[in-house]
Amino acid sequence: MKPVVVDILNWSDWAVLFYFLAINTSYAALILLAAAEFYRRAETASYAGREDDLVNPFTPGVTVIMPAYNEEAVIVPAVQAMLSLRYPRLEVVVVLDGSKDNTFGVLEEAFGLVEVPRLIPSDIPTREAPKAVFVPRGGGPLVVVLKDNSGRADSLNVGVNLATMDLVCFVDADSILDSEALLNVVKPFVDDPERVVATGGVIRAVNGCAVVDGRVVRVGMPRGWIARIQVVEYLRAFLLGRTGWSKIGSLLIISGAFGMFRREVMLEVGGLDPSCIGEDAELVSRLHRYLRDNKRSYRIVFVSEPVSWTEVPATLKVLARQRRRWARGLLEVLWRHRVMLFNPRYGRIGLLAFPWFLLFELAAPFIEVLGLPLVVLGLAFGVVNVYFAVLFAVAAFGYGLALSLASLAIEELSFHRYPDWRDLRAAGVAALIENFWYRQLSALWGLQGIFAALRRQQAVWGEMTRSGFGPEPTRAEPAR
């Protein structure tokens, strides 16, 4: 065994060094792109005309679609907050996905709902048809739909069928939106209506923030380190990473907690796929694929202005579940749309974004998790000396830490949403300790997610390959 380990180690140290260098440098490039974009937005903010959008009768109408499953505790303030967003033409469709609790009852009482018989167009085929439609007595731009449980994606599709506005916006019942959220996310549609087909809003952690009447009134760092590290991670990976991807027209993920789409285009691609775990990411990849197949000139834009606040997992157990699901979702998307991978027909999506996610998101857990025992073995056999191993780790993690701090610096320069000096210090410390256990655990969870996906999907894949693997789902599996 010893000689093999020696061989591998001798061969691998350069490889691992390059891998770390490449992954972090790609992140550095995204951060630089994001910084350039933030600078541009700061420069142009004073004449962006956002107030104008609020009074312009041509500003497109938006249907906010909020699926809800067992949300009794939060649904009423969530709907009220949604109805009071600053936006001129708004309709809110709440899709009750067969809740087992009293979600409907509390809504009925709060808004005085009355049933209206309604024929619903099946623009997108759905698994469950709506059972009943309600509107508030006395009017108001609210529609509540009751249906049997069929998962989040199917509920959103039902909402799209009911929507009457040109733009549809997907939100979660437990997310808190800034009152400017819709204006911010509609902006790209207003400025470039012919090309923009979808926009995604940034998600930030609500843990530690003061919330009054469904609005974030004061931003702060959460208490626990698990959540704090995620604040830094969200800044780096979501705020800056996605801004960077968007800048080069290769945004692959729009968070399910806040995304806006042109309804017409949603119908063209057949809505969300309920058989996917990461249905939001899958939708975006499908849009890219469809629009590029049809040689359309389009844009999918990420909006970095604060938009949506969501509770991030505060315990390892919940976090682990989330990360396993993310990894599974990513694998699924890459597999399903593998035709785009390294395919020049799909431009930057095929040659840049897809390979990046494959090499650096999907493969990173393997390198990180398998690297560790290798190093331990090396130390045990005396091939690796401790001094070298420690230095190597410091160099690799130091780069990652520098990137986290760069993200903090950019946040501070552009949005400075954390008013307290103590919050800044906490964020700095979180960026540091992230390297000692959080990254390793994330990698492990990622790996678990991938293996789970492989086990579960083998049968499905066989079937799909035979059926020619069209863009349409062939087999159902509850998403929730």
Residues near other proteins (CB under 8 A) are 9-10, 13-14, 17, 43-44, 46-49, 51-52, 54-60, 84, 86, 88, 114-121, 135-140, 179-180, 190-194, 213, 215, 383-385, 388, 391-392, 394-395, 398-399, 401-402, 405-406, 408-409, 412-413, 416, 421, 424, 428
Going by C-alpha positions, the residue among 324, 360, 353 that lies closest to residue 337 is 353
Furthest C-alpha separation in the chain: 80
Cβ 11 to other proteins shortest distance, Å: 8
**Closest CB to other proteins among 191 and 472?**
191
Is-contact 182 43, C-beta < 8 A?
no
Going by C-alpha positions, the residue among 247, 260, 240 that lies closest to residue 184 is 260
Compute φ and ψ for 283, nearest 5 degrees: -60, -45
Q: Is the dihedral of CA 204, 285, 154, 90 positive or negative?
A: positive
Going by C-alpha positions, the residue among 305, 309, 303, 298 that lies closest to residue 262 is 298
Q: How far is 369 from 379, CA to CA, in rounded Å?
A: 16
Is-contact 236 410, C-beta < 8 A?
no
**Closest CB to other proteins among 3 and 138?**
138
Compute φ and ψ for 401, nearest 5 degrees: -65, -40
Q: Please give the structure tokens belonging to residue 333.
A: 């998307």
Cβ 437 to other proteins shortest distance, Å: 20
Compute φ and ψ for 439, nearest 5 degrees: -60, -45
**Closest CB to other proteins among 196 and 479?**
196
Q: How far is 48 from 184, CA to CA, in rounded Å?
A: 11
**Closest CB to other proteins among 18 and 437?**
18
Cβ 96 to other proteins shortest distance, Å: 18
- Residues with Cβ within 8 Å of 126's Cβ and at least 6 positions away in sequence, in order, are 150, 154, 157, 158, 161, 271
**Closest CB to other proteins among 316 and 409?**
409
Q: How far is 286 from 282, CA to CA, in rounded Å?
A: 6
**Alpha helices (runs of H) in 102-193, residue ranges in sequence order:** 103-111, 152-162, 181-191
**Closest CB to other proteins among 409 and 476?**
409
Cβ 401 to other proteins shortest distance, Å: 6
DSSP per-residue string spanning 168-191: EEEE-TT-EE-TTHHHHHHHHHHH
**Closest CB to other proteins among 136 and 278?**
136
